[in-house]
Amino acid sequence: MSAKLFNYSAKLTPCFLFLKVCIFVCGLLSGFNAKADLLSATLDYHQGHFSKAKQEFLQLAQLGNPDAIYNIAVMYLHGQGVEKNTAQAYAWFSLAADFGLIDARDTAMLIAKQTQNRQPLDDAYDALLKQLSFQWYSEQLKPELTMTPIDDAAIVRDYMVEPKYPEHAYKNGIEGWVWLEFDIDESGAVTDITIIDSNPEKTFDKAIINAVKRWHYQANKDNLPHYNRSLIYHFTTYKGKQYAQSFKSQQRQYNEKITDLIDAAEQGNAIVQYYIANWLSSDEYNATRLLKYHWQQSNASDELLLKSATNGYANSQYRIGANLLRGEYGKVEREKGLNWVLLAAQNGFAQAQYRLGRELLDKKYLDYAPNKAMKWLTAAAEQGLFSAKRELAKLLFSLDNADMPAVNRALESALADDPTHPALLLIQAKIITQKDPRAAKRIAQKALKEAKSRLWYTGNIDTFIASLP
């Protein structure tokens, strides 16, 4: 079922489609609410909260959500939450048509046919295009989802340990995934793993962390680290007898829920779209086999992720941005990637705020902006994200005429989360070098010992220790 509000007729008589609100019980999704998505906006509309609905549709329209654009046109056509305005209705229907909605094109043509003076219609459409257009969306946000991901030859994994499936999850046929990011240091070691999201929450986190921290990559020729490597690891019971048993026991339960999930996704529930996109990204889930009866296209996962992103869900916006920055859609598109990351950051997503701050500190690019980077790192640090705390401490310490009280506050906050982090201990040692070189050396040696125990790169610590008297 579509989340559009209106079906046109030859006389433009409104025919409203009341959404079936899916109150479904699903342990994987209970307790989650997406804000200002298409479904919630449409429900506000049907409950008569027109002004609120219009604001929500406008937010989604700015993301290139075609159904939201269509629904704004409906509201102008009938004077709901806005003054009735046929010219504005025509403009918004025409814009929705630009985004590929055939119903919108037909309705715009019908309005034009029934209007004696066409000029106000064209003027309204031209004015709208100065604010939002499909061309702008294509240039600034739209990824090409049919492209083959580029192969980053600079990052080659040469050692991998498979995560151990938690026994209780395997026995009970529990499937899920973990989305994490990590850095790779100069020696090729994995450092600073961050869990961004997981489903079911915390079920598989420990297993994937224990495995990934042992992975190793070939050291690159430039001896430079790599940041924010993104991975979604799927835990499935597909293989072997356990799969057959778990699928048989869960098939009825799955069938009962799948219809509700499909309806919720089609109606515009952004978080359901996000979760289904994750399920569809692997062929080995029990649920995937049933979901693929409905979403059969090869890039269904990417399409649903994009729908969720244009539907206002920050997790999906960040994922799209990270994919564009990595070249997941055929080429690296930095501007589009940063635009999506910015949207997620503005939505309050801490990992996006951190990533944006870190990207703005890369001197290779014209968008280098340390002041803006500090703003976003601070925002993420205030949400408790350790990686942001760590990077903020490093940034504050690196500045000319560094504000040492601010550096110490940031360092203290980060060390509270990881008291033996080698990079943080190194900063601490450098701060007291002039005042107490012996203490600085002790702290640096502690950092060195910890880096070795974690199998991390030690070159910068070795250099600092060698410089001490």
SS (H, E, C) the chain: CCCCCECCCCCCCCCECCCCCCCCCCCCCCCCCCCCCHHHHHHHHHCCCHHHHHHHHHHHHCCCCHHHHHHHHHHHHHCCCCCCCHHHHHHHHHHHHHCCCHHHHHHHHHHHHCCCCCHHHHHHHHHHHCCCCHHHHHHHCCCCCCCCCCCCCCCCEEECCCCCCCHHHHHCCCCEEEEEEEEECCCCEEEEEEEEEEECCCCCHHHHHHHHCCCEECCCCCCCCEEEEEEEEEECCCCHHHHHHHHHHHHHHHHHHHHHHHHHHHHCCHHHHHHHHHHHCCCCCHHHHHHCCCCCCCCHHHHHHHHHHHCCCHHHHHHHHHHHHHCCCCCCCHHHHHHHHHHHHHCCCHHHHHHHHHHCCCCCCCCCCHHHHHHHHHHHHHCCCHHHHHHHHHHHHHCCCCCHHHHHHHHHHHHHHCCCCHHHHHHHHHHCCCCCHHHHHHHHHHHHHHHHHCCCCCHHHHHHHHHCC
The pLDDT of residue 32: 37
Which domains does the chain carry? 38-140 (1.25.40.10)
Does the pLDDT value for residue 426 go beyond 80?
Answer: yes
Confidence of residue 127 (pLDDT cuts 50, 70, 90): very high
What's the Cα-to-Cα distance from 317 to each of 28, 181, 269, 430, rounded to whole Å? 21, 16, 15, 38
Is 111's pLDDT higher than 70? yes
Q: Comparing 196 with 7, which gets the higher pLDDT?
A: 196
Q: Could you tell me which residue, 207 or 288, shows the higher pLDDT?
A: 207
Tell me: the pLDDT tens digits for 56-74? 999 999 999 999 999 999 9
Residue 148 has a pLDDT of: 86
Over residues 89-99, the pLDDT tens digits come to: 999 999 999 99
Judge whether residue 17 has pLDDT over 60. Answer: no
Would you say residue 110 has pLDDT above 70?
yes
Mean pLDDT (whole number) for 448-459: 97
User: How far is C-alpha 219 from the chain's CA centre?
Assistant: 28
Q: How confident is the model at residue 258 (pLDDT cuts 50, 70, 90)?
A: confident
pLDDT at 28 over 90: no
Mean pLDDT of the chain: 88
pLDDT band with cut points at 50, 70 and 90 for residue 171: confident
Q: What is the mean pLDDT of residues 20-41?
A: 49
98-107 pLDDT, tens per residue? 999 999 999 9
Of the candidates 184, 435, 428, 434, the one whose C-alpha atom is nearest the C-alpha of residue 445 is 428
Judged by average pLDDT, the poorest of 12-26, 134-148, 167-181 is 12-26
Average pLDDT for 431-436: 94
Kindly state the percentage of the chain with pLDDT values over 90.
76
Mean pLDDT of 320-334: 95
Query: Per residue in 209-218, pLDDT tens?
Result: 999 999 999 9
- The pLDDT value given to residue 418: 98
* For range 259-265, the mean pLDDT: 88
Q: How confident is the model at residue 315 (pLDDT cuts 50, 70, 90)?
A: very high
196-220: average pLDDT: 94
pTM for the structure as a whole: 0.89
pLDDT at residue 241 in the model: 53
Q: What pLDDT, in 10s, does the model give residues 224-244?
A: 899 999 999 999 876 545 556
pLDDT value for 283: 78
Question: Two tokens at 237?
Answer: 């019971």
What pLDDT does 246 receive? 59
Residue 82: pLDDT above 50? yes
